[in-house]
Structure 1
Amino acid sequence: MKHLNKLLVAVLMAMGLSSHAQDSNNPWAISFGVNAVDTRTSSGSGSGFFDQHFSQPFSVKDNWNILPSLSYIGVSRYVGSGFSVGLQGSVNKIDKYVTFAPSAPGHDSRGNVVTNPGDLMYYGIDATIKYSFQELIKSKVVDPSLSVGGGYTFFGDSSYGTVNPGAGVTFWFTDAIGLELATRYKWSVSGDREDAAGVPDAPSHFQHTAGLVFKFGGKDTDGDGIYDKDDACPDVAGLKQFNGCPDTDGDGIVDASDACPNEFGLAALNGCPDRDGDGVADKDDACPDVAGLAALKGCPDTDGDGIADKDDKCPTVAGPKENGGCPFLDADKDGVLDKDDDCPTVPGPASNRGCPEVSSQALEDLKVQARAIYFNSGKATFKTGDKETPARLDAIKEILKNYPNAKFSIEGHTDNTGSAKINDKLSQDRANAVLNALVERGVNPENLEAKGFGSSQPVASNKTAAGKAQNRRTEIKHIGSKYQGKL
């Protein structure tokens, strides 16, 4: 227990400093395991320095002192450029001490004798500066290193300082867990002393260690496995290939540079999708499901007239914009283009916007047909039993449809029987009756008006029955058009 207490003190001291640090991501590391002490180098046997110190290095059974339990622990701090500094505490029990005694019984061919000095405890506290070659050799698994440092050793009742060159290799199972194998030659600054009884006093020796090392201390705020110092987006979880930044839609473009971060898209369109493959991002495409032109916001132009099909009245035939994408046609061959022709199916002069001018013959025909429409006496209803009135109305409609931009007045007249007030109303009602009958037959109501003149415009004498009959009439007159004054 007393040995463990001393080791604990060494560990607490080490925690205040550092030891085998590995990289800048996890700057701290803790290592622990077993150590072996080989005192053979202090015996002086052999013909030279290297023969004395490096012959029989793996005579484990004969020369190594191993405490079969946790016997060292250390901590480390990475300081940059492959270097780390730290402190290690160790404990051991020396039951194999090698001396040079060629005349003593039991010596080997080199004059070494292994003795058991008894309950000789060993404690060491060592500071180390280590250089890792891992970055240099670009390996993620094998991590060789060289170290130098100094320490203080408690060897039985003696204590002395040491200078500690060393080497090691770590095999990393993960980014933070590895197996560490290391060795140090701990040269005694006091010289390799022994007391008068031959008991070791301040021997130089090798100390070998084997144990696990754990790196820690890296900060990863968003928990994405990328340390904050290397994370371009430390507060939001992301991907390693994007330096810790997210790619929500998985299109290979980080959200910060993705114009459509929630939709899988194309790099050429800043991460936005293009369903129809026309090179216009859906968010900017007025026709996202059909390929089109960038100049028309992704809409097609089948006839190539510069007007998108959706806005083109003639999408398969080229035409100017002012004609709705349709070509300038002249269907009635009257010399007035359809776009300017108020009567595109009926020939007419340009002076009348392509519509025919009302002829004198048409006016005469209207007069004849209108005057032959008879009403019941004193009423605005067509004469009962008169089978010709519908045919006359149809004939009037056929004449009027040839003049779609002409204005016509339907006039009602009476004889002088009755009061003027009654006759004025009756004539207006009869004119309205004719207008309504024509509208029902398809005549544009905007081209018609109805007026009643009562008995004010007789065409025959009201002194005879025949004259009165002629005065009870309707007439249709041409009163003008959109482009001409009244006739």
Structure 2
Amino acid sequence: MKHLSKLYVSMLMVAGLSANAQSSDNPWAISFGANAVDTRTSASPRDFNLKDHFSQLFRVKDNWNMIPSVSYLSVSKNVGGNWSVGITGSVNKIEKWVDHVPGASPNTTTVYNPGNFAYYGADGKIAYSFKSLIGLKWFDPSLNIGGGYTWMEDKSAGNANIGAGLTFWLTENVGLSLASTYKKAFTDRIDSDGSLDVPSVFQHMAGLTFQFGGKDTDNDGIYDKYDACPEVAGLKEFDGCPDTDGDGIQDKEDACPEVAGPKELNGCPDADGDGIADKDDACPEVAGLAKLQGCPDADGDGVADNKDKCPSVAGPKENAGCPWPDTDGDSVLDKDDKCPDVKGTVANNGCPEVSEEVMKKLNDYAKTILFDSAKASFQQKTYPVLQAMVAILKEYPSSNFSIEGHTDSDGKDAVNMKLSEDRAAAVKNYLIENGIDAARLTSSGFGETKPIASNKTKAGKALNRRVEVKLVK
């Protein structure tokens, strides 16, 4: 049983070395001071009464064992958040053995000197600090659990621990620490031979704690973990970053870190007061407009005077600030006029409108287009007609047209539809190949679905076999 208890305690100590409650700013801490051991406990495990332990807990003079020197040393380390892990070594002398008087009431005790027993303890703990939850930098209560091993004269035993601590931080790194721990020993207190064994005790400690280990590479008083510029000394209000020109803007956000300037201009000066930083101002000595990089625009045409070839007369940027010409006087500027030498209409991009007369002429030509029988290839005498259509279309460069093919009712519907589509496409392709923009033309076939004459006569069928040109508006 005793060996199993020691094994359990060893496991607790290992676990205790993997968690933490120290300050994460200064992860390491060392504490030292005095400890007191109170052996008050029941005579046997079956009589154990935790309330009885506390009933005379603070009878210091009667029950506490203390030596007049530094008697404990503790080292701990923060391992994340509010958790810390620590180890403590302590030494004491047992001159006051508090025991229950057999047969008496639970609170009846006797105190005697068992023989000035030397008492040593080695303990590991996991602690959780409540300082950050409370929100007070100076007040730091904590709870801890762990385990350890205790030696008393020629006896030794493992123990499981639970305790509480309170540190009053006098400065960021120095604190006054108080702690109490109940150490449950894995022994029967009295050996089978009647001799005293290692007891369960309350151990109280009071001492000083020193935190250290925080890294501040640039010595600006801001720990590297919080310092946005850990290699260069800076100011607390800028998370440790410098402000070389003292304009209230940290250097890494200051577009002109060595010359003071207003915050609105990212720390850069503005000599002409036009609201544009000198470094971005193409005319830093003369107030101007932001959209013109700080240069003036006397005629208000959006072209800076230093780039305006007509600075006193408004004109577009594309023409260096001078007015655009309108050669044909149709109110469409040459730059937008698709027919700059021929008077047209604004609606038709400066080109003349396609009249009904023109469309009639195009369709008169289209009706005379001749194809090889049952094919989409042209007969030789049709090419002059096609050239005449090209010439007309070129006079109206901004107008779009649709080429439509039609057949008579002879033959199968599907064949007729395919033939009409191919013939319309053949006309369109010829026009494109001879200089008409492809974007202006579309083609489609309707087969025998849109006759303009009766398909019962030869003359009617001849009229139905046709190509039509439509103006796309």
Q: TM-score, normalised by structure 1?
A: 0.53
In 2, are the aligned partners of 1:95 and 1:119 still within 8 Å (CA)? yes
* Structure 2 CA distance for partners of 1:284 and 1:45, relative to 1, 3 Å: same
* Structure 2 CA distance for partners of 1:218 and 1:324, relative to 1, 3 Å: same
Aligned-pair Cα RMSD in Å = 3.8
* Structure 2 CA distance for partners of 1:272 and 1:44, relative to 1, 3 Å: farther
SS state at 2:115 partner: coil
* Structure 2 CA distance for partners of 1:320 and 1:232, relative to 1, 3 Å: closer
In 1, are the aligned partners of 2:21 and 2:128 still within 8 Å (CA)? no
* Structure 2 CA distance for partners of 1:39 and 1:194, relative to 1, 3 Å: farther
Q: Name the residue aligned to 1:243.
A: 239
* Structure 2 CA distance for partners of 1:184 and 1:234, relative to 1, 3 Å: same
Unaligned runs of 5+ in 2: 1-12, 314-473
In 2, are the aligned partners of 1:19 and 1:88 still within 8 Å (CA)? no
* Structure 2 CA distance for partners of 1:43 and 1:266, relative to 1, 3 Å: farther
Q: Deviations over 1:23-74 (max 9, x none)?
A: 3332221111111111113456998623222212222222111222111001
Q: Distance in 2 between matches of 1:154 and 1:321?
A: 95
Alpha-carbon distance, 1:257 to partner: 2.0
Q: Name the residue aligned to 2:54.
A: 54
Q: Name the residue aligned to 2:113.
A: 116
Q: Distance in 1 between matches of 2:207 and 2:19?
A: 14
Q: Distance in 2 between matches of 1:142 and 1:320?
A: 69
Alpha-carbon distance, 1:170 to partner: 1.8
Count of residue correspondences: 300
Which amino acid in the other structure matches residue 87 of structure 1? I
Q: 2:135 aligns with which of 135, 138, 141?
A: 138
Task: Determine which structure has more spread, i.e. the larger CA radius of gyration.
Answer: 1
1:294 to 2:294 alignment? no
Q: 1:210 aligns with which of 206, 225, 234?
A: 206
Alpha-carbon distance, 1:307 to partner: 9.3
Matches within 5 A, 1:336-375: none
Alpha-carbon distance, 1:191 to partner: 2.6
Q: Name the residue aligned to 1:262.
A: 258
In 2, are the aligned partners of 1:21 and 1:85 still within 8 Å (CA)? yes
Unaligned runs of 5+ in 1: 1-12, 309-318, 328-487
Alpha-carbon distance, 1:123 to partner: 0.6
In 2, are the aligned partners of 1:42 and 1:205 still within 8 Å (CA)? no
In 2, are the aligned partners of 1:43 and 1:100 still within 8 Å (CA)? yes
SS state at 2:225 partner: helix
Q: 1:281 aligns with which of 263, 277, 281?
A: 277
Q: Name the residue aligned to 2:37.
A: 37
Alpha-carbon distance, 1:90 to partner: 0.4
* Structure 2 CA distance for partners of 1:187 and 1:284, relative to 1, 3 Å: same
Which amino acid in the other structure matches residue 76 of structure 1? S
Q: Deviations over 1:170-220 (max 9, x none)?
A: 2223332222211110001113226766x6322100011111112222322
Shifted more, 178-187 versus 223-232: the winner is 223-232
In 1, are the aligned partners of 2:45 and 2:188 still within 8 Å (CA)? no
* Structure 2 CA distance for partners of 1:43 and 1:265, relative to 1, 3 Å: farther
Q: Deviations over 1:107-166 (max 9, x none)?
A: x99311111223211110001111222233333222221111111111222111100111
In 1, are the aligned partners of 2:29 and 2:210 still within 8 Å (CA)? yes
In 2, are the aligned partners of 1:194 and 1:202 still within 8 Å (CA)? no
SS state at 2:41 partner: helix
Q: Name the residue aligned to 1:94.
A: 94
* Structure 2 CA distance for partners of 1:160 and 1:81, relative to 1, 3 Å: same
Which amino acid in the other structure matches residue 245 of structure 1? C
SS state at 2:167 partner: strand
Q: Name the residue aligned to 2:145.
A: 148
SS state at 2:247 partner: coil
Alpha-carbon distance, 1:282 to partner: 3.5
Q: Name the residue aligned to 1:272.
A: 268
Q: Distance in 1 between matches of 2:25 and 2:307?
A: 65
Which amino acid in the other structure matches residue 31 of structure 1? S
Q: Name the residue aligned to 2:8.
A: none
Q: 2:225 aligns with which of 209, 229, 236?
A: 229
SS state at 2:85 partner: strand
Which amino acid in the other structure matches residue 134 of structure 1? K
In 2, are the aligned partners of 1:22 and 1:29 still within 8 Å (CA)? yes
Shifted more, 217-226 versus 108-117: the winner is 108-117
Q: TM-score, normalised by structure 2?
A: 0.55
* Structure 2 CA distance for partners of 1:293 and 1:200, relative to 1, 3 Å: same
* Structure 2 CA distance for partners of 1:60 and 1:133, relative to 1, 3 Å: same
1:183 to 2:176 alignment? no
In 1, are the aligned partners of 2:235 and 2:241 still within 8 Å (CA)? yes
SS state at 2:233 partner: coil
Q: Distance in 2 between matches of 1:111 and 1:165?
A: 26
Which amino acid in the other structure matches residue 22 of structure 1? Q
In 1, are the aligned partners of 2:52 and 2:107 still within 8 Å (CA)? no
In 1, are the aligned partners of 2:228 and 2:241 still within 8 Å (CA)? yes
Which amino acid in the other structure matches residue 142 of structure 2? S
* Structure 2 CA distance for partners of 1:299 and 1:42, relative to 1, 3 Å: farther
